[in-house]
């Protein structure tokens, strides 16, 4: 049951200093490689699209396009990222939570029971890149005259039933920065509307520079692109000095509007409407064109399967899903822990990169509203499975998790 062999024989999670392993994709030479075999479909294949700076901006734009306003209600899953709620409040609408099942599926009966006279839209999330079955939800929305916003924040790549994810919703939203080595990036997509009213403009030279430099520096910080780093050593030193002076000046003026990039790029749940009409950076758009969705999907699936095999059968933990469906491209590996607080603390202390989705949930979402969401929020630990993990990094990570689980 516990049989497992790492891909390199020498790999163990020793008590020596932990290697720095990126939680999210970082730029490397490999980021531009192609994959042999069939191409993969992204949410951008689902219809017309606009590239913005985050998923939450795309949610706000979808709500605006739908004409959602004060007095309306929007159904939101009880298991959610807190960043999904502020765009609803920004429209003056009220979020109403519907229940999810124990494995993070949509509780269709509860969703239907929550549709009221003021309900205008429902958001449905493909958690962790695992497709929801949207056919019955689409049918329900059509029957009740409400719009479907398909949340592909965890599912930039993938298909279900022969269709790209994002093609069921009146609008779909995505968070490309969760799948590519970029500092910002989101998308509003629609298979039903042309999006010609969504006009975007550049966020300026400062933003463009910050995004490109940040992506490079993130790569350098994790030991990627050493030759580029050496070549850019002098200009980056000069930039650091310039940046320091610029920041000092900004602090003096206490001018918040001078922020060069949105808070969404810095693990914040805030929503700032000033980024609504801003186009994603040149850097992110170029990387989107250069990157191979087929490579990203193949590597994420491979890393996911390795984690699945290595952690299967360990006491006190199990994968949230028994199997990875064909066509899915996982965002992370969701591990369900019996004692998540202890395990999370131990893994963090060991230097294992991991995160917790929907932890915390929006205020007011309690165990009474949805017992399953409360449990998932507490019990799911999300391990990285992204395409830029090196084999030895994944080996170390797996060995470290096994060690702490078995301790
Ligand atoms: C399920 C889900 N939807 C939407 C969002 C918003 O995406 P972004 O962070 O790009 O604004 C997130 C962010 O974590 C998310 O997890």
Taking 80 as the threshold, does the pLDDT of residue 60 lie above it? yes
When the pLDDT of each residue in the chain is averaged and rounded to a whole number, the result is 92
Closest of 322, 307, 327, 283 to residue 391, by C-alpha: 307
If DSSP states are collapsed to H, E and C, what string results for 147-201?
EEEEEECCCCEEEECCEECCCCCCEEEECHHHCCCCCCCEEEEECCCCCCCCCCE
Taking 90 as the threshold, does the pLDDT of residue 230 lie above it? no
Q: How confident is the model at residue 253 (pLDDT cuts 50, 70, 90)?
A: low
Angstrom distance (rounded) from CA 315 to CA 335: 12
Angstrom distance (rounded) from CA 39 to CA 42: 10
132 lines ligand 1 (CB under 6 A): no
Region of 41 on the Ramachandran plot (φ > 0 left; ψ -120 to 50 alpha; else beta) = beta
Taking 70 as the threshold, does the pLDDT of residue 248 lie above it? no
Question: Counting every residue, how long is the chain?
Answer: 407
Q: State the distance from the centre of ligand 1 to the C-alpha of 54, rounded, in angstroms.
A: 8
Closest of 282, 323, 289 to residue 42, by C-alpha: 289
Closest ligand 1 atom, residue 84 Cα:
4
**Per-residue exposure over 289-326, b if at least 16 CB sit within 10 Å of its own CB, e if not:** eebbbbbbbbbbbebbebbbebbeebeebbbbbeebee
Please answer whether residues 183 and 221 qualify as being in contact, where contact means their C-beta atoms are separated by less than 8 angstroms: no
User: What pLDDT score was predicted for residue 4?
Assistant: 43
Residue of the CA atom closest to atom 3 of ligand 1: 153
125 lines ligand 1 (CB under 6 A): yes
Give phi and psi for 209, each to the nearest 5.
Answer: -65, -45
Q: How confident is the model at residue 264 (pLDDT cuts 50, 70, 90)?
A: confident
Measure the CA angle with vertex 185, ends 183 and 188; round to 5°: 170
126 lines ligand 1 (CB under 6 A): no
Q: State the distance from the centre of ligand 1 to the C-alpha of 57, rounded, in angstroms.
A: 10
386 lines ligand 1 (CB under 6 A): no
User: What pLDDT score was predicted for residue 250?
Assistant: 61
Angstrom distance (rounded) from CA 197 to CA 149: 18
The full set of domain ranges for the chain reads: 29-35+292-406, 43-190
Unique residue bearing structure tokens 């980056």: 236
User: Which mutation among 43, 77, 83 tests ligand 1's pocket best, with the greatest number of atoms within 8 A of CB?
Assistant: 83
Taking 60 as the threshold, does the pLDDT of residue 192 lie above it? yes
Query: Which residues fall within 8 angstroms of residue 124, CB to CB, at 6 or more apart?
Result: 77, 106, 132, 134, 137, 148, 149, 150, 151, 169
The pLDDT of 139-166, averaged and rounded, is 98
pLDDT in tens, 3-42: 444 444 344 455 567 899 999 999 999 999 888 778 999 9
Taking 90 as the threshold, does the pLDDT of residue 52 lie above it? yes
Angstrom distance (rounded) from CA 132 to CA 124: 8
> Which CATH number among 1.10.3720.10, 3.90.1150.10, 3.90.230.10, 3.40.50.1820 corresponds to the domain 29-35+292-406?
3.90.1150.10
Closest ligand 1 atom, residue 185 Cα:
10
265 lines ligand 1 (CB under 6 A): no
User: What pLDDT score was predicted for residue 229?
Assistant: 87
Please answer whether residues 215 and 182 qualify as being in contact, where contact means their C-beta atoms are separated by less than 8 angstroms: yes
User: What pLDDT score was predicted for residue 258?
Assistant: 53
214 lines ligand 1 (CB under 6 A): no
176 lines ligand 1 (CB under 6 A): no
Residue of the CA atom closest to atom 16 of ligand 1: 81
Q: State the distance from the centre of ligand 1 to the C-alpha of 152, rounded, in angstroms.
A: 9
Taking 90 as the threshold, does the pLDDT of residue 298 lie above it? yes
User: What pLDDT score was predicted for residue 34?
Assistant: 85
Fold designation for 43-190? 3.40.640
User: What pLDDT score was predicted for residue 247?
Assistant: 66
If DSSP states are collapsed to H, E and C, what string results for the chain?
CCCCCCCCCCCCCCCCCCCCCCCCCCCCHHHHCCCCCCCCCEHHHHCEEEEECCHHHHHHHHHHHCCCCCCCEEEEECCCCHHHCHHHHHCCCEEEEECECCCCCECHHHHHHCCCCCEEEEEEECHHHCCCCCHHHHHHHHHHCCEEEEEECCCCEEEECCEECCCCCCEEEECHHHCCCCCCCEEEEECCCCCCCCCCECCCHHHHHHHHHHHHHHHHHCCCCHHHHHHCHHHHHHHHHHHHHHHHHHHHHCCHHHCCCCHHHHCCCCCCHHHCCECCCHHHHHHHHHCCHHHHHHHHHHHHHHHHHHHCCCCCEEECCCCCCCCECCCEEEEEECCHHHHHHHHHHHCCCCECCCCCCCCCCCCCCCHHHHHHHHHEEEEECCCCCCHHHHHHHHHHHHHHHHC
154 lines ligand 1 (CB under 6 A): yes
Angstrom distance (rounded) from CA 237 to CA 75: 49
pLDDT in tens, 305-345: 999 999 999 999 999 999 999 999 999 999 999 999 999 99
The pLDDT of 128-149, averaged and rounded, is 98
The pLDDT of 347-365, averaged and rounded, is 96
């Amino acid at each position: 049951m516990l049989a497992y062999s790492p891909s390199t024989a020498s790999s163990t999670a020793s008590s020596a200093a932990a290697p720095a392993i990126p939680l999210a994709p970082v730029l490397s030479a490999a980021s531009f490689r192609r994959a042999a075999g069939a191409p993969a479909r992204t949410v951008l294949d689902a219809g017309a699209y606009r590239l913005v700076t985050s998923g939450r901006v795309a949610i706000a734009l979808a709500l605006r396009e739908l004409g959602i306003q004060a007095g309306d209600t929007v159904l939101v899953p009880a298991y959610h990222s807190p960043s999904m709620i502020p765009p609803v409040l920004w429209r003056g609408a009220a979020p109403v939570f519907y229940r999810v099942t124990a494995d993070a599926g949509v509780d269709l009966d509860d969703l239907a029971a929550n549709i009221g006279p003021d309900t205008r839209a429902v958001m449905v999330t493909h958690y962790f890149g695992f497709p929801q079955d949207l056919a019955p939800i689409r049918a329900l929305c059509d029957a009740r005259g409400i719009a479907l916003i398909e949340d592909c924040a965890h599912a930039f790549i993938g298909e279900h039933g022969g269709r790209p994810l994002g093609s069921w919703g009146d609008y779909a939203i995505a968070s490309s920065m969760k799948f590519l080595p970029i500092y910002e990036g989101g998308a509003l997509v629609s298979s039903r509307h042309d999006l010609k009213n969504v006009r975007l403009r550049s966020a300026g030279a400062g933003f463009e520079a910050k995004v490109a430099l940040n992506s490079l520096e993130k790569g350098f910080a994790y030991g990627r692109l050493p030759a580029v780093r050496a070549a850019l050593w002098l200009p980056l030193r000069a930039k650091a000095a310039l940046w320091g002076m610029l920041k000092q000046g900004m602090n003096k003026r206490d001018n918040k509007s001078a922020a060069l990039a949105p808070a969404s790029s810095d693990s914040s749940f805030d929503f700032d409407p000033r980024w609504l009409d801003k186009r994603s950076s040149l850097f992110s758009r170029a990387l989107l064109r250069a990157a191979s969705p087929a490579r990203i999907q193949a590597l994420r699936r491979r890393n996911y399967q390795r984690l699945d095999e290595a952690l299967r059968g360990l006491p006190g933990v199990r994968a949230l899903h028994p199997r990875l469906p064909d066509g899915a491209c996982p965002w992370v590996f969701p591990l369900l822990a019996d004692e998540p607080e202890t395990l999370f603390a131990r893994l963090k202390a060991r230097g294992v990169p991991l995160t917790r989705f929907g932890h915390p949930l929006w205020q007011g979402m309690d165990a009474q509203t949805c017992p399953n969401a409360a449990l998932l929020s507490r019990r799911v630990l999300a391990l990285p499975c992204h395409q830029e993990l090196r084999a030895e990094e994944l080996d170390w990570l797996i060995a470290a998790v096994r060690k702490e689980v078995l301790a």
